[in-house]
Amino acid sequence: MKITLTQWEGFRNLKPRRLEWAEGLHLLLGPNGSGKTNILEAFHVLTGWGSLKGERVLDLKSWSDPGRGTFLAAWFTGEEELEVKAGIGSRVITKKGGSSIQSSQLRPLVPSLIFLPNDLSLVEGSPATRRRLLDRLCALLFPVYALRLHEYGRALRQRNAALRQGKNLAATAKVLAPLAAWIWACRLAAADLIRNGLSEAGGLMPPGITVELKRGSRGFEDLLLDFWESLKAFQNQERATGVCPVGPQRDDLVIRYGEREVVRCFSRGYRRRVAVSLLLSSGWAVERKMRRKPVLLLDEVMAELDHEGREKLISVLLKTGWQVFATTAEACTPEWPGRTWSVNAGRIEER
């Protein structure tokens, strides 16, 4: 899918603006605090996801003019023609072609993938960072995924509460087990897709990188059995610590280069390249499975790549044919084969 036209008003520090977007690559260039990330955030909201910082929705409204309405709109083309509008008050109200729709239902229609500065440390960061990559892909591929993950989290809190109160744990285990097995099945499928996609990252990193889901369990093949057996095996630890040590909340994505883990054998720059490749790989998974081209939102991805890394990334991005919005604070790429926009104090102009 592609964004062809956007409109925003009263959103963060952005000045009201109506803009046409071509397909291909877009570079948003501007000093710190100018509003580059806010533009990506507007696209993020318009494709069915929330604010980037997980803050209250009200924080999306412009501070300087809080009385004024906050409004976003986008027109998409590509695999489908789509008009999306979002009004932001105490919550986000989204409309598709004039009729109300839950924002999460927009996600599969206009699949977007985002890469934030923190994601650059995907390889060496906490497992939660890597689970987020898997969860984003799963939420796009499996419509019930976000709901199930939410239910699982709730059931887990119920179990931990029962644990603290010294209550019987049987019922919570029965609720958790099928949810855990279902989430694992999705994540395994997502990890497979990411692994297959990595071969297309062409030159951004050495060939031979693989990823594998390491489940928060003993690892028996049958997922349901795995949950039950692992729960039994870690029973004492669970009682002692008061938190459930088994399940998807303990999953990790192990990234290997040959026999070794990438986190141990790659330089910082190469770990960054691997991180970016994993995102691109999710993009290929989306395109293959959903038959829709994703929209890529890349925040400060270039910053930590060397010149060669940037050139390779750009050539890979060009080959995908996806619409890409990349931000950067400095003109670090002399050869940007797309449009360049200057962002300054909430204003955006084509260069």
Provide CB contacts within 8 A for 106, sequence distance 6+.
46, 47, 48, 84, 94, 96
Residue 32 Cβ, how far from Mg ion at the closest point, in Å?
Answer: 7
Binding partner at 161 among ligand ATP, another protein, Mg ion, none, C-beta below 5 to 8 Å by kind:
another protein
Separation CA 305–CA 294 (nearest Å):
23
Residue 37 Cβ, how far from Mg ion at the closest point, in Å?
Answer: 3
Sequence-ordered alpha helix ranges (H) in the chain: 36-46, 127-141, 145-164, 170-198, 223-233, 235-241, 262-265, 268-290, 307-320
Among 34, 37, 281, 333, binds Mg ion (CB under 5 A): 37
Residue 143 Cβ, how far from another protein at the closest point, in Å?
Answer: 4
Residue 274 Cβ, how far from Mg ion at the closest point, in Å?
Answer: 22
Closest CA to 30 of 350, 339, 330, 338: 330
Provide CB contacts within 8 A for 293, sequence distance 6+.
1, 2, 78, 79, 287, 320, 321, 322, 323
**Nearer Cβ to another protein (28/180):** 180
Contact indicator for 322, 285 with CB cutoff of 8 Å: no
Under the binding rule (CB under 5 A), the answer on residue 47 touching Mg ion is: no
Q: Which residue is nearest to Mg ion (CB)?
A: 37
Separation CA 171–CA 265 (nearest Å):
44
**Nearer Cβ to ligand ATP (57/185):** 57
Task: Give the binding-site size for another protein (rule: CB under 8 A).
Answer: 22
Contact indicator for 60, 45 with CB cutoff of 8 Å: yes
Site string for another protein, 133-172 (x = CB under 8 A): ---------xxx--x---x--xx-xxx-xx--x-x--xxx
**Nearer Cβ to another protein (108/245):** 108
**Nearer Cβ to another protein (166/334):** 166
**DSSP conformational letter for 107:** T
Binding partner at 32 among Mg ion, another protein, ligand ATP, none, C-beta below 5 to 8 Å by kind:
ligand ATP
Residue 126 Cβ, how far from Mg ion at the closest point, in Å?
Answer: 22
Separation CA 315–CA 333 (nearest Å):
12
Residue 44 Cβ, how far from Mg ion at the closest point, in Å?
Answer: 13
Separation CA 172–CA 152 (nearest Å):
10
Among 50, 87, 108, 127, binds another protein (CB under 8 A): 108
Binding residues for another protein, rule: CB under 8 A, are 102, 105, 108, 142-144, 147, 151, 154-155, 157-159, 161-162, 165, 167, 170-172, 174-175
